Amino acid sequence: MVKFTVRWPCDKQSRSKLIKSADHCCRKGIARLYYSLCENEMVRFTCIIFTLGCCLCAFLLWLFIRDPCSKYSITKALCQEYKNGLAAGRMCYDLCYEDSVYLSCLAEDEETSTFSWKDTIVKASKQRKKLNDHTEPSSNEVWEGMTLEEFVKKLEDFFTVQLGPGDHSMLIDRVLNFADFNGDAEFLFGEINSMWKLLHKPEFLTILIFSKHPVFPYLNDTCSDMYAYENIRTQVLYDKSDTSWLSRMFSDSYRWNFPPWLRRVQISVGLLEFISVVLEEANTRFYMCNLSPTKFGFTNTFQMKVTSLHGITSEEKLKIALSQKKCLTDSDCTIGQICHSKCDIKRQVCSEDILSLDIVEVCRILVDYIFFDAPSKLKAMLKIFVTKCSSLHYSHNSYNNSQVDINHNLLIDDLIAILWDQIKDQSTKWFKNEPIKTL
């Protein structure tokens, strides 16, 4: 009997080539077998169905195992923090133990995931920061064992940076009431840690500051740095930037879906009240640098609501942002569409003296929204106020600026009073069964 022996290549490179060659031949053989079977029409049909079935199964498997908006990884990390005593919030128990919070992915970016749940919008950070017991906490962090007095001092420093110097005691009390998630008047590390994370979310901080005012969405439950707020279903005031073919043919097509004039007056009062609110809240003046009609909407009961919180900033933060901008002309000293200052050409740095007023842009919105088809008597009166409004602006003279503030407040109050008179007048006619103009 003749014995055959196969010598296995000693070097690694030769063995690798041999394995790859065998693998290639195997794949090629399977492919030839598959194509030869598919030459028959009936078998070809079966092959197509089989291929489609495999693709469908793969797609369904992908749907099953994928993690939309990193929902599962976020909730897993949050619940781990909650169980370890590092997080707290009224939503945590339902999320981690009751499993009754059903999050539906809406959108995501590199840092934040946005979900919907019931009638709320839920937002959470995608990246979780792990606490290390072996490192000293930085000045921007809270630590385990922190006393209430230390936390209050940290809040005072935080609000001084965010809102400027002043008395922030009422806002601090609001934060402490919100942070006491279990209502026992004692603050655990999880509650302090969660509240501190939430305060560093600009959107959450804005909603918290203006939480007393109905034109802003109300805050719902939280868990660690995950927070939920009211999902406002509104119709936008109007959008003149629409580039559809209809808008190109008819320049006033944005007005076709306007509600009746009296309803628009009601919505306009809400818009003026918004300006009055941001003028000074928490002993701080606020600005909305991207103020436009697309940032506001109205509900089915014609209540005005702020639909975009992006761009609302305190005077202190705006001054810092402007002073850090390099410039050659005044046009370089602009933030958003409205907020601007002068350019110091010698230093090529923008001045921190803010020259813009939100009421000027609001008056432009009112002209488009209620002025064009207002009753003739009211139109003449509104024209006077619009002229006054457009002339309001700050200068470098502090005395003149204080006078501008007085005129600014008076103008808002007068406009609200005039528009409210229109609403009350129509309401009186309704009670007397007199015909009401819908205009």
Does domain 235-315+357-431 fall under CATH 1.10.510.10? My reply is yes
Residue 306 exposure: Cα atoms within 13 Å on the Cβ side: 26
Cβ atoms of 189 and 88 closer than 8 Å: no
Q: Cα-flanking dihedrals φ and ψ of residue 315, to 5°?
A: -60, -40
User: Do 388 and 407 form a contact (C-beta atoms < 8 A)?
Assistant: yes
The percentage of residues in the chain with a pLDDT greater than 70, rounded to a whole number, is 79
Q: Decide if pLDDT at 160 tops 80.
A: yes
Cα–Cα dist 77/96, whole Å:
10
Phi and psi, residue 243, nearest 5°: -110, 20
For residues 212-226, give the mean pLDDT. Answer: 93
- State the pLDDT at residue 12: 46
Please give the residue that has the higher pLDDT: either 282 or 321.
321
Report yes or no: 302 and 266 within 8 Å, Cβ to Cβ.
yes
d(CA 327, CA 341): 11
Contacts of 437 (CB under 8 A, 6+ apart): 261, 262, 375, 426
Asked if 307 contacts 336 with a C-beta cutoff of 8 angstroms, the reply is: no
What pLDDT does 372 receive? 87
pLDDT of residue 429: 52
Mean pLDDT of 106-116: 91
pLDDT value for 26: 58
Instruction: Report the pLDDT averaged over residues 378-395.
Output: 85
Across the chain, how many H-helices and E-strands are there? 14, 14
This prediction has a pTM of: 0.80
Residue 15 has pLDDT above 50, yes or no: no
pLDDT at 232 over 80: yes
> Angle 189-199/169-179 helices, nearest 10 degrees?
130
Instruction: Decide which of 184 and 321 is more confident.
Output: 321
Identify the pLDDT of residue 44: 63
State the Cα–Cα distance between residues 168 and 165, nearest whole angstrom. Answer: 8
Q: Which residues of 237-276 are buried (b: 16+ CB within 10 A; e: fewer)?
A: bbeeeeeeeeeeeeeebbeeebeebbebbbbbbbbbbbbb
In sequence order, which residues have a C-beta less than 8 Å from that of residue 227 and are 6 or more positions away? 122, 123, 124, 198, 201, 204, 219, 220, 221
308 CB burial (10 A radius; 0-12, 13-18, 19+): middle
**d(Cα 140, Cα 196) in Å, to the nearest integer?**
9
Average pLDDT over residues 219-246: 89
Q: What pLDDT, on the 0 to 100 scale, is given for residue 243?
A: 72
pLDDT of residue 393: 76
Mean pLDDT, rounded, of the chain: 83
Cα angle 5, 8, 13; round to 5: 160
pLDDT attached to residue 32: 60
Report the distance separating Cα 318 and Cα 295, nearest Å: 19
Mean pLDDT of 294-318: 93
The strand ranges marked E within 153-242 are 219-223, 226-230, 235-236
pLDDT (average), residues 207-234: 93
Is residue 103's pLDDT more than 80? Answer: yes
Alpha-carbon distance of 91 to 103, in angstroms, equals: 12
pLDDT digits (tens, 9 = 90+) for 338-380: 999 999 999 999 999 998 888 999 999 999 999 988 988 888 8
Residue 22 in this model has a pLDDT that exceeds 70: no
What is the average per-residue pLDDT within 406-432? Answer: 79
277 pLDDT higher than 50: yes
Domain map (residue ranges) of the chain: 69-130+138-230, 235-315+357-431
- Percentage of the chain beyond pLDDT 90 is 53
Residue 20's H or E segment, with its range, is helix 12-37
Which residue bears the tokens 């939480």? 211
Q: For the residues 237-242, what does the mean pLDDT come to?
A: 86
Taking the alpha carbons at both ends of the chain, their separation in whole angstroms is: 111
Cβ partners under 8 Å of residue 86, min gap 6: 131, 189, 190, 193, 224
User: What are the pLDDT digits (tens) for 45-64?
Assistant: 676 777 777 777 666 655 55
Least confident of 119-133, 345-359, 375-389: 119-133
* pLDDT classification of 241: cutoffs 50, 70, 90: confident
Alpha-carbon span 333 to 351, nearest angstrom: 8
